Structure 1
Amino acid sequence: MSERDDPGIIGRRVQQLRVERGLTQKQLAEPAYTPAYISTLESGRVRPSDDALRHLADRLGVGFEELATGRPARLVTDLRLRLTEAQRTLATGEAEESATQYARLLTEADGLDLAEVRAAALLGLGECAVETGELGAAREYFERAEKALGDDVPLPARVPALRGRALAHYLTGELRYSVYLLESTIDELNRGGLHDPDALLLLYASVIGPYMDMGAHARAAQAAELALALAPRSDDPALVARMHRSVARTLLAEGRLAEADASLAKAAELYRQLQLRTELANCHWMRGYVYAQNGELERAEAELRQALAMLSAKRAALYSSQAAVELADVLHRRGKSEEAAALLHDVLSDLSSERGALHSAAAHRLLGIIAEDARDTEAAEEHYVRALSLLERAGAAGDLADLCRLLGDLLRRTGRVEAALDAYRTGLGHRTAPGTTTLGPAPAQPPL
């Protein structure tokens, strides 16, 4: 047992319990130990082994953990049950209620000095903060969870906190740092022979989004293939569902719409079974995106409206912003530009450059397109420039190249040829060869 009081405290506890039960040292010792050993133990001059503590606990009628730590086993079990309840509350989309539950558990864990429960509560608070869009708080919670676990804990057990930190950085637009955290953890797991399927599946599914936004399509495709290969080895259906949703994004980039839709259908079914409302809403969002790419705009609108309603009801701010931008694009393509613009302005009022940079950039880009279609070139240029600034800070290469093209075309049509050429050159500078990035070597692969 790693968590245990020092020998002096344990000795006094054994003596107190022995006296309360009216036992002599000889009666407590029999048949495995001697009275002299009990006397030495009670005086704190020997550190009892696990076997000795189990013998004493059985003779004294208490649990092993209570004798070793002073905490009743039932109390620890109750805390773990409440952790599970808080996790279920978050899984059904009630992030604020879940955060309240986790905060109470953190206070109790601090009072009892329970490192494992403290780390789990901090991790849960971080996940709640991501759900509600409080990314600075999320990063802090995930960092504290890592510290609570400590370096002595095996790396696979620390992966959820590491992945949480990477996700928070990704959602604030810090793509390269997010990829660095995920890739270095993957590399350490694979090179060190720690081939934990759940940990690797979580990391590979999480790195797909940042890869795609950086234009590293080949690495995204490879991560998706590895995630799919790991899925049968995972015992966690929530992880498998998340993986299917992430893999669908890569399939979309390759134009494999039918396969993407099939992957999303699998994820949606798993999330229905698990009642993970936010993740299920994200599946509706991705399915709406598939339909939009395939020109089925009416079906796309229905899916995206459902996603937005589900996400907004649960105050999943960043996820709902992503769905809102996608819905606005479909609405504009269907001739409902005023409704689309109103939706995008709502998105921008909820976000900032530090919180949801990529979603803000996407909203400005689409507002620029809407303004161009309405022949308001001044407003269009303003939105494009704002989007460009956000994307440059985030390092989203693929989106930057596309935006520079839009801005260049606008400048050329308004007679500013030199400015247009500068925009095109900027775009070409961000247009890397397929699958290449300025990242270092790809992380080591698991032996599948």
Structure 2
Amino acid sequence: MGRRVSRLRAERGLTQKQLAEPAYTPAYISTLESGKARPSEAALRHLAERLGVSHEELATGRPAELAAGLRLRLTDARLALASGAPEDAAALFEALHEEAVRHALAPEQAAALLGLGDCLLESGALAGARDCFASVERLLADEPLPRRVPAIRGRATAHLLTGELRYACYLLETALDELNASGLHDPEALLLLYTASIAPYMDMGAHVRAAHAAELALALAPSVSDPALIAGMHRGVARTLIAEGRIAEADASLAKAQELYRQLQIRTELAHCHWMRGYVHAQHGNLEHAESELRTARSILAAKRAALFTEQVEVELADVLRRRGRPGEAEALLRPLLAARTAEAPGDDLAKDGAENGTDRTGALGAARGAVHAGGAHRLLGLIAEERGDTEAAEEHYCAALSLLERSSAAGDLADLCRLLGDLLRRTGRVEAAMDAYRTGLGHRAAPGTTTLGPAPATPPFRPPRVPGAL
């Protein structure tokens, strides 16, 4: 501080007396410049005004415009992630993180790590993404909880994509309870958490909780101005509407989300809307339209090099191809998804993804990466094998799927798989083993959302006004 004051004074041609007047003495300035004392807050502001610099620049040595410039470049990196490949955006976030660390700008460090975590999610480097989001939470540990909510949501999403559904729910519900108990009723933070909780609830079969979260999200929406959050809410709500058979309403909700994502040029989320529309068409037997929507989603995600999401869409596309009588095409799409590969891991140095040469050795889909869809891929391969009469291969695939889905607690998928395995065992004369499989499936379907989860998060002490169209 003393050297900084002395340098700035000399650059401006001021004497110690001129700098001190009228509030302080030359002796006080000499004491400061020699490092024998630090200025009080009042003295710091006096000196900053006399030297013609900002309070922040004099206190920290950082130019006033540095943090603002970093924030602008972080916005540019966000735009790069929305429209381009995650590894390209990751390089931008890494550089910005290094600069923020160099200048001890903690909020900008957190923003850069949050962006890098989102890049790693898209690329499928889930362990690295979790590390980034956890680092953001540590950096912002002394900040109010709403500031940490995007990182909590990111970490929960990483666990969800890994297949750890219960832990994803735990993270989101804990944050919701803390927000509601503390009176920190930040509408954007609450909307982000309620929307994020819909997917793991649905995958676990906790449809009542998912519908309740969707209702609260809809009620919060009028208090939120961020269009990306509103679009995410519409996409999440559509999942609960689909489960209730309210297809026209779900389609309208997806259309709203699509339009917002198109305006914002967020291509990954736009692809997710096509993906969900493909799912809706597939559920209602409109396989031609389902294939078209899924291929559109796959094309967008592949062009963005969003590896994990591309692979997950390919599993659902393979299901449609099999149902359209093209099992060979479906099998050709599925088998590479379960094979080990070496993939570039963007942000490796910061994410600590585990390989010195910047690569990440992983299965394309598996227990640690997309477990639910990996189980779905094995299920489909089992169906294809069974249809061509290869019961041994079918049983192997069903058992592999069962192992993956049991770890993830995906109740509905587990029940369906146990039925398929039980039917296969019964047809091959193993009645007792078939009964065990059926019992396992029934166990997973018993009271969904109550046997697999703890108490539901507390309802907010204030209740947002009910809006037309709420569930």
TM-score of the aligned structures, taking structure 2 as reference length: 0.89
1:22, CA displacement in angstroms? 2.4
Moved more, 370-379 or 164-173: 370-379
Moved more, 235-244 or 432-441: 432-441
Are 2:17 and 2:25, in contact at CA under 8 Å, matched by a contact in 1? yes
Are 1:215 and 1:437, in contact at CA under 8 Å, matched by a contact in 2? no
1:29, CA displacement in angstroms? 4.0
SS class of match (1:375): coil
**Identity rate, percent:** 70
Moved more, 110-119 or 268-277: 110-119
Rounded Cα–Cα distance in structure 2 between residues aligned with 1:93 and 1:283: 18
The structure 2 residue matched to 1:13, chosen from 4, 14, 24, is 4
For 1:2-44, what per-residue CA distance to the aligned partner results, in whole angstroms no more than 9, with x for missing partners? xxxxxxx2x4322332233222344334456565665565455
Please list, as runs of the form range in 1=range in 2, the aligned pairs for 1:147-186 lying within 5 A after superposition: 147-149=138-140, 151-186=141-176
Rounded Cα–Cα distance in structure 2 between residues aligned with 1:268 and 1:52: 55
Rounded Cα–Cα distance in structure 2 between residues aligned with 1:356 and 1:29: 65
**1:206 equivalent in structure 2:** 196
SS class of match (1:119): helix
Rounded Cα–Cα distance in structure 2 between residues aligned with 1:216 and 1:437: 10
Matched, 1:362 2:380: no
Q: Which amino acid aligns with 1:173?
A: G
Matched, 1:305 2:264: no
Moved more, 373-382 or 11-20: 11-20
1:170, CA displacement in angstroms? 1.0
Matched, 1:221 2:211: yes
Matched, 1:142 2:133: yes
The structure 2 residue matched to 1:274, chosen from 264, 278, 289, is 264
SS class of match (1:152): coil
Matched, 1:393 2:407: yes
Q: Which amino acid aligns with 2:53?
A: V
**2:37 equivalent in structure 1:** 45
**1:426 equivalent in structure 2:** 440
Are 1:357 and 1:391, in contact at CA under 8 Å, matched by a contact in 2? yes
Rounded Cα–Cα distance in structure 2 between residues aligned with 1:373 and 1:52: 83
Are 1:132 and 1:315, in contact at CA under 8 Å, matched by a contact in 2? yes
For 1:269-311, what per-residue CA distance to the aligned partner results, in whole angstroms no more than 9, with x for missing partners? 0000010011100100001111112222111111111001111
Distance 1:266-1:31 versus aligned 2 partners, 3 A rule: farther
Please list, as runs of the form range in 1=range in 2, the aligned pairs for 1:282-301 lying within 5 A after superposition: 282-301=272-291
1:440, CA displacement in angstroms? 1.8
For 1:129-171, what per-residue CA distance to the aligned partner results, in whole angstroms no more than 9, with x for missing partners? 101001111111111222222x211111111111111111111
**2:328 equivalent in structure 1:** 338
Are 2:124 and 2:308, in contact at CA under 8 Å, matched by a contact in 1? yes
Distance 1:74-1:399 versus aligned 2 partners, 3 A rule: same
1:64, CA displacement in angstroms? 2.3
Q: Extract unaligned runs of 5+ from structure 2.
A: 340-363, 465-471
Rounded Cα–Cα distance in structure 2 between residues aligned with 1:403 and 1:375: 18
Moved more, 17-26 or 394-403: 17-26
Are 2:124 and 2:307, in contact at CA under 8 Å, matched by a contact in 1? yes
For 1:63-120, what per-residue CA distance to the aligned partner results, in whole angstroms no more than 9, with x for missing partners? 2221110011222222221111111111113211100001111222222222112111
Rounded Cα–Cα distance in structure 2 between residues aligned with 1:315 and 1:359: 18
Rounded Cα–Cα distance in structure 2 between residues aligned with 1:369 and 1:90: 37
Rounded Cα–Cα distance in structure 2 between residues aligned with 1:245 and 1:437: 27
Please list, as runs of the form range in 1=range in 2, the aligned pairs for 1:60-79 lying within 5 A after superposition: 60-79=51-70
**2:430 equivalent in structure 1:** 416
Rounded Cα–Cα distance in structure 1 between residues aligned with 2:417 and 2:298: 25
1:45, CA displacement in angstroms? 2.9
Rounded Cα–Cα distance in structure 2 between residues aligned with 1:343 and 1:442: 39
Rounded Cα–Cα distance in structure 2 between residues aligned with 1:221 and 1:307: 26
Rounded Cα–Cα distance in structure 2 between residues aligned with 1:33 and 1:361: 74
Are 2:314 and 2:334, in contact at CA under 8 Å, matched by a contact in 1? yes
1:56, CA displacement in angstroms? 2.4
The structure 2 residue matched to 1:119, chosen from 101, 105, 110, is 110
For 1:218-276, what per-residue CA distance to the aligned partner results, in whole angstroms no more than 9, with x for missing partners? 11111111111112211211111111111111111111111111111000000000100
Rounded Cα–Cα distance in structure 1 between residues aligned with 2:55 and 2:327: 67
Are 1:248 and 1:263, in contact at CA under 8 Å, matched by a contact in 2? yes
TM-score of the aligned structures, taking structure 1 as reference length: 0.93
Q: Which amino acid aligns with 1:88?
A: L
**1:6 equivalent in structure 2:** none
Q: CA RMSD in A?
A: 1.8
**2:91 equivalent in structure 1:** 100
Are 1:93 and 1:276, in contact at CA under 8 Å, matched by a contact in 2? no
Are 1:325 and 1:359, in contact at CA under 8 Å, matched by a contact in 2? yes
Distance 1:358-1:434 versus aligned 2 partners, 3 A rule: closer
Rounded Cα–Cα distance in structure 2 between residues aligned with 1:434 and 1:386: 23
Q: Extract unaligned runs of 5+ from structure 1.
A: 1-8
Divergent runs of 4+, >6 A:
none
Q: Which amino acid aligns with 1:130?
A: L
Are 1:216 and 1:437, in contact at CA under 8 Å, matched by a contact in 2? no
**2:468 equivalent in structure 1:** none
The structure 1 residue matched to 2:454, chosen from 425, 440, 443, is 440
Rounded Cα–Cα distance in structure 2 between residues aligned with 1:315 and 1:351: 16
Are 1:12 and 1:44, in contact at CA under 8 Å, matched by a contact in 2? no
1:375, CA displacement in angstroms? 2.4
Q: Which amino acid aligns with 1:116?
A: P
RCO higher in structure (CA 8 A, sep ≥6): 2
Alignment: residue pair count: 437
Rounded Cα–Cα distance in structure 1 between residues aligned with 2:36 and 2:179: 41
Matched, 1:236 2:226: yes
Are 1:288 and 1:299, in contact at CA under 8 Å, matched by a contact in 2? yes
For 1:351-405, what per-residue CA distance to the aligned partner results, in whole angstroms no more than 9, with x for missing partners? 2221111110011111212222222222211111110000111121221111111
